[in-house]
Chain A
Amino acid sequence: MAADGGGLDTVHGTECPTCGASVGETDRFCETCGAGLFEGLVPASSAQPPAPAPAGQRWLTSTGAPDACGGCGGTAFGPEGYCDDCGQRRPAGRNHSELDLGVIAAVSDLGHRHRHNEDAVAIGLLPGAEAAVVCDGVSSSTRPDAASYAAVDAAAEALLRALADGDEPEPALTVAARAAQAAAALAAGAEPGNNPPSCTFVAGVVTADEVSVGWVGDSRAYWLPDRDGDPAVLTADDSLAGQLAAAGVPLAEAPQGAQAGALVRWLGADARDTAPHLVTIRPDGPGRLLVCSDGLFRYRPAPAELAAATPAGTPIDTARSLVQLALDAGGQDNVTVAVLPYPAPESSQGATG
């Protein structure tokens, strides 16, 4: 995903030495082939099992990588994350995750061009509230999945706790973003280096009468009404292009290319401005909130296009179908989407049963 954060040391050229694609000068990995652009990188194996959920809530996360080697089933890995016996790389996250709580659902997939799924997603249900968090590892950082997997779990847990404690959605989203930032920063370890693990953050909360989203970076939330009103993107990307678009600069006049898409805010040890943007809407009628990574919306960026491509059906079927759409369109990046219908049911009993 995201282009570089800017302001870091220029360490290599603008061409990937492996495949020749153009890369940002401080990218850690090539966006096209996934090759590391710096030598001596240590692949991540960061996923920790999630903490037990507080009573009365139910949540699922895409973190929790298998501990055994995918090649030989061995469990001993060298410090660089390769199996001591057969040399296979330790999986950093699951290549494909399907999270289904019935009422809400999410699907995440590796895509066709990447070797690690650096997108992480968690969904949760409380009586009267649905929540989803998506974090997308910034490929220009070191071990981005270390940040995204840690952040998503910390955020989901904090978000659900805050909501369970009676916080309004927006303050709860702020707490969640803070928890995500702390976890992403910790993922850098004792020696963060000059390009520590980084990720984006987007979270949505759907209640009986509101849809709230909070974000840092360029992952998005879309509001897709069933009947009334127009589809809309609720987030504004934390990129130069995104900021100009949010300020009303017409697309034709906006700058193009890598610089325009360069991320200006993110979470991680080197992130300074990490308070989430917050938006709340009170929809007139039922609809769905999509919380997604750019691996999906790069293929249908306009809200109307995305709405047209989003089939009706159960949330898990809808999520699967959207991920498949991205894969069929090329699957250039990891692709993740969570589907949260509005309004939230008054109780989550039906969902959990």
Chain B
Amino acid sequence: MSEPAAAFTAEVYQNQYLPAGGDVVDAVITVTASGAGLRDVGGTPSAAEVIMIDCSGSMANPPTKLSEAKKACATAIDSLRDGVSFAIIAGRHDAQMVFPLVATLAPATPANKAAAKAAVQNLLAAGGTAIGQWLSLANTVFAGHPAEVKHAIMLTDGRNQHETAEQLAATLRNCERRFICDSRGVGADWVASELRTVASTLLGTADGLEDPRELPAAFRAMTEAAMGKAVAEATLRVWTPAGATVRFVKQAFPQVEDLTPRRTQVSARIGDYPTGAWGAESRDYHLSVQVQPGTVGEEVLAARVSLVTGDSVLAQSLVLATWTDDTALSTKINQRVAHYTGQAELASAIQEGLAARDAGDVETATSKLGRAVQLAEESGHSDTAKLLGRVVEVIDAPSGTIRLKPKVAGVDAELANVRSVKTIRVKKSEEG
């Protein structure tokens, strides 16, 4: 009997053995979507794309920011599949439709694409920055449209200074689960925490681009990824036994995302966590469950983890717990669980260290960033190590001995911050 190529797989990495009295089960679940079967899951979902381009006055300084943003926008428009609907929004202290002129989506016909690119070409840099206004208009544009995958790109070059953090948070709550948004900063004045908040809430990615000339490639990559989504919305469904508590559910790769507070209760034993849309990609989740301690020799199902879309289960795997008095078994630490525990600590150490540094708390900043340098070194996260090297002077990486650099370009700290959540996978060769 031949079986169709599996579109989704879920693999569990854990040490299922607990010592007598042990009650915490940790597991890394790798969910991978791949293969020819992927498109068969539900056919290619319909898609809609909204691009929010910062047109504040600072985009003209230097002028390459706006000119590259225009090129990037044109590249993204060219990447849209036939049949996709789209819109372009200009963001300032308010938000304005660039194409089409009314707050709706237009089909990506050759004529509409050409008209949109022409409209983008005419954009001028003038005004302020109120990201919530842009997202709010995007939300209006998407509303009521039947597209299954709704994806947005938000590009800014500065601080969200013409509205309060509370206003942005309120807007994000309205947009949550309505569309996915990737956020990007360009130039030297964007704020990492703002980009991360937008991307995290709207299940997208955040990043900063040092050189405006990187924009077209970045926009193409984001648009193509959105066009490549095969499943519009999937949730991670976690069953746990009676008496068990989910300590946390985190996406651990490609970036750290704590999903724990986003649980939707399905039944007494089952909760759903949003994961957004899926193309051909692989993500790791770190699940930690506290169970009722069993007696030696007992085996229980500590969690059943599935990726679910609508009523269909795309992939499923089991997290087990077995109690043993064999300490050789129970003391073994699963390499992937340990690795992602470290990567999550690395992300917090960077964020907390940079926040302390901004607040002038040299002692905390030195300690946190030193720990970050040490963790980056241990896990072989060279990208993060390099970014940290722009903020601190590394004296001895293995021990985490560092000194804060007295003068740091603002963008270096923001880059280190916005990329703090990016993780790497454990190297195959290092797995025991």
A residues with a Cβ closer than 8 A to B are 18-20, 33, 39-40, 71-72, 78, 80, 82-89, 115, 191
Contacts and interface: CB of A to CB of B under 8 A. Distances in A.
Given A82-B300, A87-B241, A19 B322 contact: no
Interface string B1-33: 100000000011000010000000000000000
Contacts of A19: 326, 328-329
Contacts of A85: 241-242, 269
Contacts of B360: none
A83 B241 contact: yes
B301 A33 contact: no
B301 A89 contact: yes
B297 interface: yes
B348 to A, nearest CB: 31
A87 B318 CA distance: 11
Contact of B17 (A18, A40, A82, A89): A18
A33 B329 contact: yes
Interface in B302-354: 302, 304, 317-318, 322, 326, 328-329, 332
Given A72-B242, A87-B241, A115-B322, A82 B301 contact: yes
B300 A87 contact: yes
Nearest to B241: A87
A33 B300 contact: no
> Max chain A CB contacts within 10 Å: which of B240, B242, B298?
B242
Interface of B: 1, 11-12, 17, 240-244, 269, 291-292, 297-302, 304, 317-318, 322, 326, 328-329, 332
B21 to A, nearest CB: 17
Which 5 residue pairs spanning A and B have beta carbons closest together?
A: A87-B241, A82-B301, A87-B301, A87-B300, A89-B299
A83 B243 CA distance: 13
Contacts of A84: 269
A11 B302 CA distance: 27
Contacts of B322: 115
A interface majority secondary structure = loop
Given A18-B17, A39-B11, A80-B318, A88 B300 contact: yes
A236 to B, nearest CB: 35
Contacts of B326: 19, 33
A96 to B, nearest CB: 13
B354 to A, nearest CB: 39
8 contacts: A18-B17, A80-B318, A85-B242, A87-B242, A87-B291, A87-B300, A87-B302, A191-B1
Contacts of B300: 71, 82, 86-89
B243 A86 contact: yes
A68 to B, nearest CB: 15
Nearest to A81: B301
Contacts of A78: 301, 304
Contacts of A115: 297, 299, 322
A19 B432 CA distance: 11
Contacts of A71: 298, 300
A71 B294 CA distance: 9
Contacts of A18: 17, 329, 332
B48 to A, nearest CB: 37
Nearest to A17: B432
Contacts of A83: 241, 301
A80 B328 contact: no
B282 to A, nearest CB: 16
Given A19-B329, A87-B242, A88-B301, 6 more contacts: A82-B301, A82-B318, A84-B269, A85-B269, A87-B244, A88-B300
Contact of A86 (B242, B297, B304): B242
Contacts of B240: 87
A72 B269 CA distance: 15
Nearest to A71: B300
B136 to A, nearest CB: 44
A115 B294 CA distance: 14
A260 to B, nearest CB: 27
A80 to B, nearest CB: 6
A87 B238 CA distance: 13
Contacts of B269: 84-85
Nearest to B321: A87
A224 B176 CA distance: 78
A311 B317 CA distance: 49
A191 B292 CA distance: 36
A86 B240 CA distance: 8
A40 B6 CA distance: 14
Nearest to A85: B242
A78 B302 CA distance: 13
A83 B294 CA distance: 14
A71 B293 CA distance: 12
Nearest to B298: A88
B20 to A, nearest CB: 15
A221 to B, nearest CB: 31
A89 B297 CA distance: 11
B145 to A, nearest CB: 39
B24 to A, nearest CB: 15
A344 to B, nearest CB: 39
Nearest to A39: B11
> Max chain B CB contacts within 10 Å: which of A85, A86, A191?
A86
Nearest to B289: A87
A18 B329 CA distance: 7
Contacts of B243: 86
A88 to B, nearest CB: 5
A237 to B, nearest CB: 29
Nearest to A95: B297
Contacts of A87: 240-242, 244, 291, 300-302
A88 B322 CA distance: 10
A191 to B, nearest CB: 6
Nearest to A88: B300
B173 to A, nearest CB: 35
A83 B301 CA distance: 8
Contacts of B304: 78, 80, 82
A15 B69 CA distance: 55
A306 to B, nearest CB: 28
A88 B321 CA distance: 10
A115 B326 CA distance: 14
